Homo-oligomer: A and B are copies of this chain.
Amino acid sequence: MTTRSSQPALVLLSGGLDSSVLLHLVARRLHDGAVHAISFDYGQRHARELDCARRQAVTVGVTEHRIVDATFFAELVRGGTALVQGGAEVPDLADVPEADRVQPPTYVPNRNMMLLSMAAAHAEASGISDIYYGAQAQDEYGYWDCTNKFLADINAVFALNRRTPVTVHAPLIDQSKADNVRMGLDLGVDFAQTWSCYRGGNSACGTCPTCVERLKAFAAAGMDDPIPYA
């Protein structure tokens, strides 16, 4: 284990499984300094993930948790994604043709750059240099903005800042979701307070792409997923 940083950190927290593990990792192992969290209501169907984000932030005892109203974003991208309110229907993973998985219907146009650019702006204005986001290895299949290359290239842009450059870290980027479940167990994450299902119902559907991945991850980690499924 490396020494913990005494610098403040900002964590992008969706309230999903990966970013909740990330928040615990940053606060409990990586940073001694103040840990801030930022979440975005961008009009996602599964806005209930934000309730989980709130609870995770409280559990960890973050210094500040900002929830940004960026609902206008849904309006901008509605034509190009199933993930926002009013967009196309979220498909079952089984119904997504293999050829489409390189950029599936649940991909949101340029979302991650948009969220990271807002987080970076806030970090820069607040004197925070270290930003964390929860990209994990399995998302690489369908999301160009969850890859090591994306991370390197976006950091190349941030490095141009002449006074207060920020750096984006993604310590889970080479881990599978099952690795994240195991790490979360170790860190004491309450997975009952994380939300993944894209459909945003009262129970998780169990069949959308993220539910399928989540269920497989818990199975691989040899643990029952504590959230309710339909």
Binding site for B on A (CB under 8 A): 66, 68-70, 72-73, 76-81, 102-103, 108-111, 113-114, 117-118, 120-122, 124-126, 144-145, 147, 149-150, 153-154, 156-158, 160-164
**A72 & B69 in contact (Cβ 8 Å cutoff):** yes
Nearest-CB residue, chain B, relative to A40:
B72
C-alpha spacing A103/B164, complex, angstroms: 10
Among B103, B114, B160, point to the contact of A147 (Cβ < 8 A).
B160
Could you list 14 examples of A-B contacts with CB < 8 Å? A66-B76, A68-B76, A73-B118, A76-B122, A77-B121, A78-B125, A80-B164, A103-B161, A103-B163, A108-B121, A144-B160, A147-B160, A153-B156, A156-B156
Q: Knowing that A109-B120, A113-B120, A145-B160 touch, tell me 6 more A-B residue pairs with CB under 8 angstroms.
A: A70-B72, A77-B125, A109-B124, A110-B120, A147-B160, A153-B157
Which residues of B have CB within 8 Å of A103? 161-163
**A117 & B110 in contact (Cβ 8 Å cutoff):** yes
Q: 3 tightest A-B contacts by CB?
A: A80-B125, A110-B121, A109-B124
Q: Please tell me how many copies of the chain the complex holds.
A: 2
- Tell whether A79 pairs with B126 under 8 Å between CB atoms, given A70-B72, A144-B160, A144-B162: yes
Nearest-CB residue, chain B, relative to A84:
B125
Which residues of B have CB within 8 Å of A117? 110, 113-114, 117
Looking at the assembled complex, report how far the CB atom of A72 sits from the nearest CB atom of chain B, in whole angstroms.
5
C-alpha spacing A124/B78, complex, angstroms: 11
Looking at the assembled complex, report how far the CB atom of A184 sits from the nearest CB atom of chain B, in whole angstroms.
29
Nearest-CB residue, chain B, relative to A143:
B162
Kindly name the residue among A72, A110, A144, A149 whose own CB sees the greatest number of chain B CB atoms within 10 A.
Answer: A110
Which residues of B have CB within 8 Å of A161? 103, 110, 144
